[in-house]
């Protein structure tokens, strides 16, 4: 019995040893495969590291190129401004001036001395008044007059008399040197029969326009710290979404829910409708070029208009719902619900640049010298973008600030020192554009979400409008 038991154990041992050998062989094969895969992984990691390094170098080179291009563009813009200024000075110096020059010849002077000579009509020594030539006029002006003529170029309050009638751009608008931070509500009134979607100051800072869902645009004068309606513009068949004054202050462009852009002349003699969009028009802005405008719509297009012909001259597919547009000298910039800001060149086709933000964008605004772009988005943030490098320089947030709707507007102050936007709870938030710090919040006047704000070009007044039909005039004093 014992020998049989031992024999069985030996058999089991031999069987287990065989299994161990088989398992060792299998493990050896797996180890070889593992080592092979490990080597491949190491090679892949090394290749990936090289690709990442190459990509980093390419990005750095691209950023350097962008900075260099921005510097070159700035230098080119400076040269263009200098050339334009030189041309304007030359025009001013060549301008013909009417100067009455009375010459008193010696013979006439002698005749004027007391004598017995008859100086009746037949003996008049009157010489016709002559008009000096251009060079004679400028020589006769003297240095003080020439300096005065040059100073007129920089006085934006005077008409640009040296410009020819063929100039195709608006003259420069006055520049605000310093804005006053508003803190007091001078006037709070019900401005429209329904919610107020848009508000805009005229360049003269004494007139403000509002547009609402009640399909009208109202023109208000600021008299004694109060808003007094002076004119009501009708013609839209649906609610107004945005308002824009041209730099002259005599025309108003309004976008509407009815798929049209409406152009009014403030003397009430003309009212044109620009039709072509197939959905709600969210924004319409004048270009700096005369008789040109740009609009954006929920039909996913950006359109350029000839205002003289009241016709669309260019329609650009924009790939997403357009919420706002702004215009520079040669570029159009649009914001969209797909979180992107798109840049378009008026001299070429297609989108030349895109910038993606965190959430859908509700509005755009550009500072006076066209170097910075301000966006407002549904992530309750305002982004300050450097247009020369396409980098976000500053992000403005504040406790309690909440973007109230898909068309909430944020703007720069006229001097570019502040950014301002209204919140869903009716509070107005004002940030320092340089530091990003919250400078002031204005509350207690709006009981509904603030849709839009506008700051007067003089820097003295701020007007805000809300979904509760109200318009509030703010000032420092």
For 438-454, the pLDDT digits (tens) are 999 999 999 999 999 99
pLDDT tens profile 68-81? 877 787 788 778 77
pLDDT tens profile 38-64? 889 888 988 988 888 888 888 888 878
Kindly state the average pLDDT of the residues 103-127: 38
d(CA 370, CA 141): 38
pTM of structure: 0.65
Q: Would you state the structure tokens that stand for residue 76, as one six-digit string?
A: 């080119």
Reported confidence tier of residue 160, pLDDT bands at 50, 70, 90 = very low
d(CA 199, CA 467): 12
Choice among 91-100, 367-376, 432-441, 459-468 with the minimum mean pLDDT: 91-100
Q: In terms of C-beta density within 10 A (0-12 exposed, 13-18 middle, 19 or more buried), how is residue 436 classed?
A: middle
Reported confidence tier of residue 136, pLDDT bands at 50, 70, 90 = very low
Reported confidence tier of residue 380, pLDDT bands at 50, 70, 90 = very high
Reported confidence tier of residue 89, pLDDT bands at 50, 70, 90 = confident
Return the pLDDT at 171.
64
Return the pLDDT at 62.
81
Buried/exposed code over 55-74 (b: 16+ C-beta within 10 A; e: otherwise): eeeeeeeeeeeeeeebeeee
Structural domains present in the chain: 134-163 (no CATH), 184-475 (2.130.10.10)
Share of the chain above pLDDT 90, in %: 52
25 against 158, higher pLDDT: 25
Return the pLDDT at 19.
87
Length of the chain: 477
Kindly state the average pLDDT of the residues 295-323: 93
Strands 418-422 and 428-432, sheet pairing: antiparallel
Supply φ then ψ for residue 135, to 5 degrees: -65, -40
């Amino acid at each position: 019995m014992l020998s049989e038991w031992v024999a069985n154990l030996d058999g089991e041992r031999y069987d287990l040893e065989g299994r161990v050998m088989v398992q060792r062989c299998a493990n050896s094969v797996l180890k070889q495969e593992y080592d092979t895969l490990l080597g491949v992984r190491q090679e892949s990691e090394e290749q990936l590291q090289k690709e990442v390094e190459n990509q980093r170098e390419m990005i750095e080179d691209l950023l350097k190129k962008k900075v260099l291009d921005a510097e070159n563009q700035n230098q080119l813009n400076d040269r263009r401004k200098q050339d334009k200024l030189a041309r304007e000075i030359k025009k001013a110096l060549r301008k013909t001036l009417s100067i009455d020059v009375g010459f008193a010849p010696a013979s006439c002077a002698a005749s004027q001395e007391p004598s017995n000579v008859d100086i009746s009509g037949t003996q008049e020594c009157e010489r016709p008044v002559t008009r000096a030539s251009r060079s004679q006029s400028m020589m006769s002006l003297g240095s003080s007059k020439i300096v005065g003529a040059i100073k007129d170029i920089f006085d934006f309050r005077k008409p640009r008399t040296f410009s020819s009638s063929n100039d195709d751009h608006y003259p420069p608008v006055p520049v605000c040197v310093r804005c006053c931070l508003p803190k007091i509500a001078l006037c709070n009134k019900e401005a429209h029969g329904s919610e107020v979607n848009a508000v805009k100051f005229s360049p003269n800072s004494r007139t403000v326009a509002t547009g609402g869902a009640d399909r009208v645009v109202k023109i208000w004068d600021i008299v004694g710290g109060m808003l007094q309606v002076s004119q009501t513009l009708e013609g839209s068949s649906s609610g107004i979404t945005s308002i824009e004054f041209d730099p002259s202050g005599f025309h108003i462009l309004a976008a509407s829910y009815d798929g049209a852009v409406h152009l009014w002349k403030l003397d009430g003699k003309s009212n044109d409708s620009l039709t072509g969009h197939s959905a709600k028009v969210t924004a319409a802005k004048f270009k700096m070029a005369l008789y040109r405008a740009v609009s954006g719509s929920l039909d996913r297009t950006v359109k350029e208009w000839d205002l003289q012909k009241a016709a669309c001259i260019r329609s650009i597919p924009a790939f997403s719902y357009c919420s706002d547009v702004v215009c520079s000298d040669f570029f159009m910039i649009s914001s969209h619900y797909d979180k992107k800001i798109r840049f378009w060149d008026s001299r070429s086709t297609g989108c030349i640049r895109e910038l993606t933000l965190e959430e859908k964008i509700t509005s755009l605004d550009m500072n006076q010298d066209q170097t910075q772009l301000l966006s407002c988005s549904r992530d309750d943030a305002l982004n300050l973008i450097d247009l020369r490098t396409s980098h976000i320089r500053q992000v403005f947030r504040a406790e309690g600030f909440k973007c109230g709707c898909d068309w909430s507007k944020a703007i720069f102050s006229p001097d570019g020192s502040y950014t301002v936007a209204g919140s869903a709870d009716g509070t107005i938030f004002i940030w320092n554009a340089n530091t990003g710090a919250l400078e002031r919040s204005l509350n207690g006047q709006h009981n509904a979400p603030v849709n839009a704000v506008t700051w007067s070009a003089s820097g003295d007044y701020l007007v805000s409008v809300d979904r509760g039909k109200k318009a509030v005039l703010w000032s420092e004093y």
